[in-house]
Amino acid sequence: MRENLNDTAVELNEEFLKELLQLDHIEEFRENFFTLHEYDQAQFYEKVGPDIRQKIYQFLSPQEMALIFEALEIEDDEYEAYLNEMETSYAAGMLSYMNTDDAVDVLNELDEDHRDSFLEMMDSETVEEFHELLAYAEYTAGAIMTTEYVSILENSTVRSAMAVLRKEAPNAETIYYVFVVDDDHRLTGVLSLRDLIISNEDTIIKEIMKERVVFAKVTDDQESVAQLIKDYNFLALPVVSENNELVGIITVDDIIDVIEEEASDDYSKLAGISDVDDVDVNPFRAARKRLPWLIMLLFLGTLTASLMSRFEATLDQVALLALFIPLISGTSGNSGTQALAVAVRGIATGEIDGKNKFKLLIREICTGLITGIVCGIVVVGIIYFWQHSLIIGLLVGAAICCSIVVATIAGSFIPLLIHKLGVDPAVASGPFITTLNDITSILIYLGLATTLISQIS
Amino acid sequence: MRENLNDTAVELNEEFLKELLQLDHIEEFRENFFTLHEYDQAQFYEKVGPDIRQKIYQFLSPQEMALIFEALEIEDDEYEAYLNEMETSYAAGMLSYMNTDDAVDVLNELDEDHRDSFLEMMDSETVEEFHELLAYAEYTAGAIMTTEYVSILENSTVRSAMAVLRKEAPNAETIYYVFVVDDDHRLTGVLSLRDLIISNEDTIIKEIMKERVVFAKVTDDQESVAQLIKDYNFLALPVVSENNELVGIITVDDIIDVIEEEASDDYSKLAGISDVDDVDVNPFRAARKRLPWLIMLLFLGTLTASLMSRFEATLDQVALLALFIPLISGTSGNSGTQALAVAVRGIATGEIDGKNKFKLLIREICTGLITGIVCGIVVVGIIYFWQHSLIIGLLVGAAICCSIVVATIAGSFIPLLIHKLGVDPAVASGPFITTLNDITSILIYLGLATTLISQIS
């Protein structure tokens, strides 16, 4: 797949481009380089290393470099290193040619002094636009929108709208939607390029535009914006200010990144990693991302141990009991994580809301009862055949049944509660719920065992 | 957010539409209903219940119904119930008006007889298209593509291309890309509508088209298609047959569904749910999705217990040892899941490939050593202060350190190995790895304890 070239051909092509750069064959390099898609240009740029990149800065204008920079797929904190390779004026020029949303993403990663050194070199209009976007809180519609959209007045004709589109085509992020505004730049309608090209040239925009526009407010959460674009299959969504002025758009490609980011984030938290871990980071940074969870859980684990120590007498009397501790805590951890995953994803995708919250809880209580009873019976059977002891089997089976019910309820109730408190439910990560469930399941087990100690010892 | 109406207004509007249906006010209903976006039409259709839906079938043509059906957001196995509400000829008509990819998704959910009853009523051309798409394996580009694309010959002019676009606009899934083919319908280039509207009308397509077309083969996996669209920020990707004939396109909105599906799938497997669980399913179905994992893990847990039973003598001698079993197995489970999550997501997003596999392993071994040593030291401290026993502290600390190292390596090595064998690494789900790591960590712990038994008893 990918292009008509196979991988070897791509590599040969890269070698060839590198050689052209090293030999200072400007024209030939540019000619070949610009047949590549921007994504491939960016991949080449990332791969070649700092020396060759100096040549690229020499041979490409800041405007040309802007397109490549937009297509880079690097970690947020890596941008600075690339910017430092460029002369400040070159970098400032490139940033001002970039789409505002992408440029702001980069600027957001720099400390204030560094950022200001670039802003000082740009024209005041661009700086103002950047300042506006930089002011929006992270993860909001305002922070991810771009200001390169096409807007027209309601009383224009289709002909003049097409003329505006042709003019804006090289700069606009999308020209497939035209947003219609009144004299105060308030959003009043929307038209797709599809609508435009099938309409008569003299038609007035107001007559053919869609007046029910779905939009986001600058302060809306990026996740709810993603939901809208996904539900309505939009290519772009307009963003309006508090007083309904059109201030930007969010395009579908940015939303794909949001969806992936949120999914990875939920996933990492389920696994107990405080931040999305990346294959490229070194072991020290990876360890730093994992240790907070591990150490917090060590303390919780010690709490488990100290609670268990109250049953030391029971354990001392029947050492056999200890054998089933991992089985019981493991099963309760597993069923809790299952319930947790359903609740967290349901909340994240908007499938669970205020209305069906209660329904979910009831469903989970029933599911817990069913899985608990089935697993309990299975365990009684296994232990009976293995240890030939019905009483131990019944004890472990009952403990497993109760633990599963409690774990399932906790796994769905805790994220719902956290969400209700206005916190991202994904913070109730897998290991946390698992450890909590460890504690309760072991207490249930050893509590039952102590009550029945006369029968089992 | 969403439209200029607030939620209450939306509900009032729904009530009003329902009333119009009940009173058989056809014209007024249609007028109001068609101001809604298809997504909202579909939401209304889903909500109103079977009786009112009968009215909808009466008032809307199969062609109008097709747009609503495409916008439905229901589970795959729910389509059949809706189809059963319609007369067969109405349903068949609707299906043949739907985009082929959406219609095929629906047809795929029916048993053969039911499917054939619809196909018999359609014209032969449509049936042939459906049969072609139905033949592609699930999760491949062929299975998710649509055949409603716009293609033109290389030697057409921009003017004639625009004419084709205008004609195809009502049916094509996207008109923002025009795919260029030769006389044998082989894909030779691509043009965006953006390119077309800024070009002179008499220009020959061949002169302005992009010849390096990124495409997918019908047999390509849907995940790699998603990767391409994401990387290149495409709105649509052409799909070609084995002999390079253009056979369909895949649009970005379908890819968003794929990305979400794959992410949910990985997520569910990390949590040990055999299939994506949904809030709406009843507790019996939810339990059926969770029980296979729970029961499999019960058996693995019994294996743990039986391995532990070899150390019964040690446990009998020092009951205190049992207290730390949940702590050790929990910590090893947690660190294993962390490593697993990084590896599985890395493979899924394409970040980990053949080249940096080895690098990841080395990284994880180092990360395991660092986290293991840190956690080991913390535990020695905790236990020393709590139990005032340095030897027990050292024993548990050493066991935790070794367990973390082993678990981290297993957590990254096992998914890499499974991937190498050509299986989706997400099958190495969280609970599975956790249980494996339980076993090894407890064996390490009790093995060490037995060796040191003279010191600790």
CB contact under 8 A, B302 and A214: no
Residue A276 located in a structural domain: no
Q: Which of A214, A279, A295 lies nearest to residue B37, judging by beta carbons? A: A214
Alpha-carbon gap: B296 to the closest alpha carbon of chain A (Å) = 10
Q: Which chain B residues contact residue A235 at CB under 8 A?
A: 176, 235, 252
Least confident among A91-100, A199-208, B131-140, B368-377: B131-140
**Residue B257: inside a domain:** no
CB contact under 8 A, A283 and B366: yes
Is B334 within a domain? yes
* Residue B250, Cβ density class (10 Å: 0-12 exposed, 13-18 middle, ≥19 buried): buried
For A155-162, what is the mean pLDDT?
A: 92
SS3 category, B324: helix
Which residues from B are below 8 Å from A263, CB to CB? Answer: 259-260, 263-264, 267
- Closest CA–CA distance from residue A327 to any residue of chain B (Å): 5
- DSSP letters, A255-299, are HHHHHHHHHHHHHHHHTT-SS---TTS-HHHHHHHHHHHHHHHHH
- Chain A interface test: which of B166, B220, B224, B371 (most A C-beta within 10 Å): B371
Q: Same domain, yes or no, for A83 and A182?
A: no
Contacts by residues A39-42 (CB-CB < 8 Å, ≥ 24 positions apart): A39/A71, A39/B231, A39/B232, A39/B233, A40/A10, A41/A67, A41/A68, A41/A71, A42/A68, A42/A69, A42/A71, A42/A72, A42/A73
ipTM computed for the complex: 0.75
Domain end residue (candidates: A226, A260, A294): A260
Domain end call among A137, A161, A177: A137
* Nearest residue, CB atoms, A220 vs list B1, B356, B404: B1
pLDDT of residue A276: 55
Rounded to the nearest angstrom, the minimum Cα separation between B90 and chain A is 26
Is B366 found in the same domain as B316?
Answer: yes
Contact call for A341 and B442, based on CB within 8 A? no
Please tell me the predicted confidence (pLDDT) of residue B394: 92
Distance CA A436, CA A329 (A): 10
CA B89/CA B78 separation, integer angstroms:
20
Task: Kindly state whether residues B176 and B209 are assigned to the same domain.
Answer: yes
Residue numbers in A near B356 (CB within 8 A):
279
**A297 lies in the same domain as A161:** no
In a domain? residue A269: no
Q: What is the pLDDT of residue A236?
A: 93
Shortest distance, CA A177 to any CA of chain B (angstroms): 11
Domain count, chain A: 3
**pLDDT 10s digits, A365-389:** 999 999 999 999 999 999 898 888 8
Please check whether residues B90 and B231 belong to one and the same domain. Answer: no
Q: CATH number of the domain at B192, please.
A: 3.10.580.10
User: Which of B282, B302, B435 is closest, CB to CB, to A386?
Assistant: B302
Q: Are residues B311 and B425 in the same domain?
A: yes
- CB-based contact B268 A175, cutoff 8 Å: no
Reading the block at residue A33, the tokens are 């380089």
Side chain identity at B385, as an amino acid letter? F
Length of chain B: 457
| Residue A216: closest C-alpha in chain B | B1
Residues of chain B with pLDDT under 50: 1-6
CA distance A100 to chain B (A): 17
Query: Residue B385 falls within a domain, yes or no?
Result: yes
What's the pLDDT tens digit per position in A224-270? Answer: 899 899 888 899 999 999 889 999 999 998 899 888 888 878 887 77
* DSSP type of residue A137: P
CB contact under 8 A, A212 and B3: yes
Question: In this predicted structure, what is the pLDDT of residue B4?
Answer: 43
* Whether residues A240 and A334 fall in one domain: no
Signed CA dihedral, A264, A265, A271, A274: sign only: positive
Share of chain A above pLDDT 90, in %: 33
Rounded to a whole number of angstroms, the distance from the CA of A172 to the nearest CA of chain B is 10
Q: How far is CA A370 from the centre of its chain?
A: 34
| Residues A158 and A124 occupy one common structural domain | no
B91 and B175 belong to one structural domain: no
Are B338 and A271 within 8 A, CB to CB?
yes
User: Is B277 inside any structural domain?
Assistant: no
**Closest Cα in chain A to B320:** A312
Chain segment A356-367, per-residue pLDDT in tens: 788 888 888 999
Which of A193, A267, A283 has its CB closest to that of B363? A283
Q: Is A35's CB within 8 Å of B212's CB?
A: yes
Which is more confidently placed, A57 or A438?
A57
In a domain, A270, yes or no: no
- What pLDDT sits at residue B209? 92
Nearest alpha carbon to residue B247 among B381, B419, B129, B114: B129
pLDDT at A136 over 70: yes
- Chain B residues in contact with A382 by the CB 8 A cut-off are 298-299, 302
| pLDDT for position B257 | 86
CA distance B245 to B132: 14
User: Residue B76: which domain range?
Assistant: 7-138
Residue of chain B whose Cα is closest to the Cα of A167:
B198
Whether the predicted pLDDT of A423 surpasses 80: no
Q: Which residues of B touch A74 (CB under 8 A)?
A: none
In A, minimum Cα distance to B346 occurs at A279
- DSSP string across B19-45: HHHHTT-HHHHHHHHTTS-HHHHHHHH
CA distance B248 to chain A (A): 15
| Residue range A72-86: mean pLDDT, rounded | 87
Q: Which residue of A has its CA nearest to B233?
A: A253
Last residue of a domain, one of B109, B138, B167: B138
What is the domain-level CATH number for residue B76?
1.25.60.10
Q: Taking CB atoms and an 8 Å cut-off, how many pairs form between chains A and B?
A: 385
CB–CB contact B213 A36 (8 Å):
no
Same domain, residue pair B133 and B157 = no
Mean pLDDT of chain A: 86
Average pLDDT in the A110-127 region? 89
Residues B157 and B58 in one domain: no
pLDDT value of position B295: 85
pLDDT digits (tens, 9 = 90+) for A2-52: 444 445 556 668 889 999 998 999 999 998 898 888 888 999 999 898 999
Give the pLDDT of residue B187.
Answer: 94
Residues of chain A neighbouring B326 (CB-CB closer than 8 A): 301, 304-305, 308, 325-326, 329, 438, 442
Q: What is the CATH number of the domain that holds B303?
A: 1.10.357.20
Q: Which of A3, A70, A323, A387 to mutate to test the interface with B (most CBs of B within 10 A)?
A: A323
Tell me whether residues A334 and B367 touch, CB distance under 8 A: no
Closest residue to B260, CB basis, from A259, A301, A438 = A259
Say how far apart CA B445 and CA B397 lie, in whole Å. Answer: 10
Q: Which H or E element spans position A238?
A: strand A236-240
Of the candidates B4, B298, B375, the beta carbon closest to that of A331 is on B298
- What was the pLDDT predicted at B3? 44
In angstroms, what separates the C-alpha of A121 from chain B's closest C-alpha? 30
Closest residue in B to A170 (Cα) is B194
Of B193, B264, B369, Cβ closest to residue A193: B193
Q: Among partner residues B338, B340, B346, which is closest to A279 by beta-carbon distance?
A: B346
Q: Best residue in B276, B290, B358 to probe A by mutation, most A CBs within 10 Å?
A: B290
| Cβ pair B297:A330 closer than 8 A | yes
What are the C-alpha distances in Å from B42 to residues A52, B22, B36, B80, B437? 54, 18, 10, 16, 48
Do the domain assignments include residue A274? no
Nearest CA in chain A to B371: A287
Q: Is residue B35 domain-shared with residue B109, that is, in the same domain?
A: yes
Q: How far apart are the C-alpha atoms of B108 and B443, rounded to whole Å?
A: 49
Q: How far is CA A147 from the centre of its chain?
A: 22
Whether B271 sits inside 8 A of A3 (CB atoms) is: no
Q: Which residues from B are below 8 Å from A231, CB to CB?
A: 39, 73
